[in-house]
A and B are shown apart, each in its own frame.
Chain A
Amino acid sequence: MNLIKKTMAAVLTFFFSMSIWAQTIDASQRSDLNLRAGVTEISNEVYDLHMLMFMVCVGIAVVVFGVMFVSMYLHRKSRGVKPANFHESVKVEIAWTVIPFIILIAMAFPAAKTLIAMEDTSEADLTILVTGSQWKWNYRYMDSGIEYFSNLATQREQINNKFEKGENYLLEVDRPLVIPTGQKVRFLITSDDVIHSWWVPDFAVKKDANPGFINEAWTNVIEPGVYRGQCAELCGKDHGFMPIVVIAKSPDDYAQWKADEISAIETAKAEEERLLSMNMSMDDLMANGQKIYLAKCAACHMPNGEGLPGVFPAIKGSDLALNDRAGHIDILLNGRTGTAMQAFSKQLTLSEIAAVITFQRNAWGNNTGDIVQAAEVHAYANGQ
């Protein structure tokens, strides 16, 4: 009897110290051990729910394993115990059916409450259409013309262990999503090809991007800052390489950013006009084309242009790249529906498309000598 009391005490102490330990993890900090509490009200609620669940589970585990280990210690043959012979007890059995059931009901209430709050996307201040595609994100602000792609920014050499890995290795993008703090931002999430999942842990937002359907999620960030996440649904070869970066700016900074973006769009348009009437030299086209190729195309067609046999076709020696100039322009502008080859007309400017086509037609022994200028791409795009 004494021993049982002692064990009970030990069990309780353990349970108690566990909960102290859990509390000492600073909730707002990023932990390598635990969920992060995040930067929104919802994410904090989720964190609390997680800790509650965790403590309940630890509690149950401690009780069950405690009893079991006590029994293993006390009721060993080597201690000369004779086995008892009982093998049922309706009372006990009812108790351990009903008690867990009550625990579950107690957990169900807060869970349901948080869930309902999370799924309520009504009355948003700002709506952003988030589109996943292999393997990048596209953001479109529904209230303004702002729209851009967001690609992994980590250098290939870091991934291949040639360069030292940076601090935000694999969690950095060329153009992060920018949102205002203190406002309810609604995300409309969809995909162009396979299923992706848009996940930012600090917001406790993870929603699948299903092709052909739009899912909704929302956040309301308290603190300005940079928040990083990743695609969370297997989406093919480079699933591990499509991070998400969100910058939350104070409403004033956000307004400034928005104004800058809109004027940048104007400048880009003018620049595009200018380039259209210009003829680039082969060297410029090739240099530029190579850069674009490595950034946008090499993920599938491989840096050496050989593709992945059976999955992504080679450009090196491809009939299209050697002989079919119109087809080449077409596939870049429009992609090929029903395959991973996406339309690049929105991702690249006309001159960039011209450059990458020229590059493909002259690199890796594709010595066609063809020069494709922006004007030609423009003509093709408008001639359709």
Chain B
Amino acid sequence: MAQEEYQKYYVPEQSVWPIVGAVALFLIAVGAGNLTIDITNGNEGYGQWVLLAGIVTLIVMVTGWFRNQIHESMSGLYSDQLGRSYRQGMAWFIFSEVMFFAAFFGALFYARTIAIPWLGGASNNAMTNEVLWPGFEAVWPLLQTPGGIESTQMGWFGLPLVNTMLLLTSSVTCHYAHVGLEQNKRKQLSWMLGLTILLGCVFLGLQVEEYIHAYDIGLTLDSGMYGNTFFLLTGFHGMHVTLGTVILIVLWFRVQKGHFTPDNHFAFQAGSWYWHFVDVVWVMLFFFVYIL
């Protein structure tokens, strides 16, 4: 709260970036929508170009916006209070991400503990099994769907375990990078951050490997609830890791340019929070998608 000594709260003047961002999202939505429709109908369309334009616009917007902000921050316009605003904003943003994943985890739990047992005749659904899906047995992972699609289970031991180790380690390195920053040990900061990025990239590479493996052994996006939850959960997680890695890379370059001080480094903190969040999601994922 604002009981402390008063510092002026910085209110930026007009800015073009928000409206550019709105246009970018518009193009992305229109492009992605049309692209999806065209792909399913097998049409040649302009969707991908609109989407691309949107993404480019978004990148331009983010770059421009952040450049402004970095500039403002470096020229000392920001008060502690604003720093708190940013931090809280980031925390709530991560909470919203948690809820996004919660929807997919919810689908996973619902399917495992309710929908699939019901299809197998549990609870008040004896007739469902008897009349509609005779012979269907409810087991998880669902390697044979009621409709008869078969797939194969993904083991947790090999790649996934390695990936878990990688991400957990990267959380540690990320933490030490932060410690380095706070104690003004720039070398440690730089190295640890670089190491985190490296681990993130390796993780992503292995994740691609894992997908290839999945398709090889016959687990695909359309092979029923097991495949659906597997790919969407790991897929969205992968997208978040990608984003997190990009953020870390940007941070790394800023570190090289001498940005951030022990007590003014919101961007760094936000990036590292995000990274930890991505890790926690993975651990949940590893546990619920692979092991259980």
B11 to chain A, nearest CB (A): 36
**Once the chains bind, are A214 and B125 in contact (CB under 8 Å)?**
yes
A193 CB within 8 Å of chain B: no
Q: Mark A216-247, 1 if CB is under 8 A from B, else 0.
A: 10000000000000000000000000000000
* B: interface residue count bin: 10 to 19
Contact B131 A129 (CB under 8 A): yes
Kindly state the separation between the CA atoms of A190 and B128 in the bound complex, as whole angstroms.
9
Chain B residues with CB below 8 A from A212, complex form: 119, 128, 132-133, 146
* Interface residue B156 (Cβ < 8 Å from any Cβ of A): no
Q: Which residue of A lies closest to B129 (CB)?
A: A214
The yes or no answer to A372 lying at the interface (CB within 8 A) is: no
Q: Tell me whether A300 is interfacial, beta carbon within 8 Å.
A: no
How many interface contacts (CB-CB < 8 Å) are there between A and B?
24
Docked complex: B125-141 residues within 8 A CB-CB of A: 125, 127-128, 131-133
Tell me if B124 is interfacial: C-beta within 8 Å of chain A.
yes
Number of residues in A with C-beta < 8 Å to the partner? 8
Which of B119, B132, B146 contacts A190 (CB under 8 A)?
A: B132
Interface of chain A residues 32 through 83 with chain B (CB within 8 A): none
* Interchain CA distance A31-B132 in the complex, whole Å: 39
Question: A216–B127 contact, CB under 8 A?
Answer: yes
Q: Which residues of B contact A380 (CB under 8 A)?
A: none
- Residues in B with CB closer than 8 Å to A119 are 124
A residues 163-206 with Cβ under 8 Å of B?
A: 188, 190
Residue of B nearest to A337 (CB): B147
Closest to B128 in A: A214
Instruction: List the 3 shortest-distance A-B pairs measured between CB atoms, nearest first.
Output: A214-B127, A214-B128, A213-B128
Contact present for A188 and B131 (CB under 8 Å): yes
Digit string of A127-143 for contact with B (CB within 8 Å is 1, else 0)? 00100000000000000
Residues on B with beta carbons closer than 8 Å to the beta carbon of A129: 131
Query: Which residues of A are found within 8 Å of B133, using beta-carbon distances?
Result: 212
Are B125 and A213 within 8 A (Cβ)? yes
Does the CB pair B132–A216 fall under 8 Å? no
Least CB distance from B57 to A in Å reads 30
**B146: which A residues are within 8 A, CB to CB?**
212
In the complex, chain B residues whose CB is within 8 Å of the CB of A214: 125, 127-128, 131-132
Q: Please measure, in the bound complex, the distance between the C-alpha atom of A119 and the C-alpha atom of B124, giving whole angstroms.
A: 10
CB distance from A45 to the nearest CB of B (A): 21
* Complex contact B127–A188 (CB within 8 A): yes
Could you list 19 further interchain pairs (A-B, Cβ under 8 angstroms) beyond the known A188-B127, A212-B119, A213-B128? A119-B124, A129-B131, A188-B131, A190-B132, A212-B128, A212-B132, A212-B133, A212-B146, A213-B118, A213-B119, A213-B125, A213-B132, A214-B125, A214-B127, A214-B128, A214-B131, A214-B132, A216-B124, A216-B127
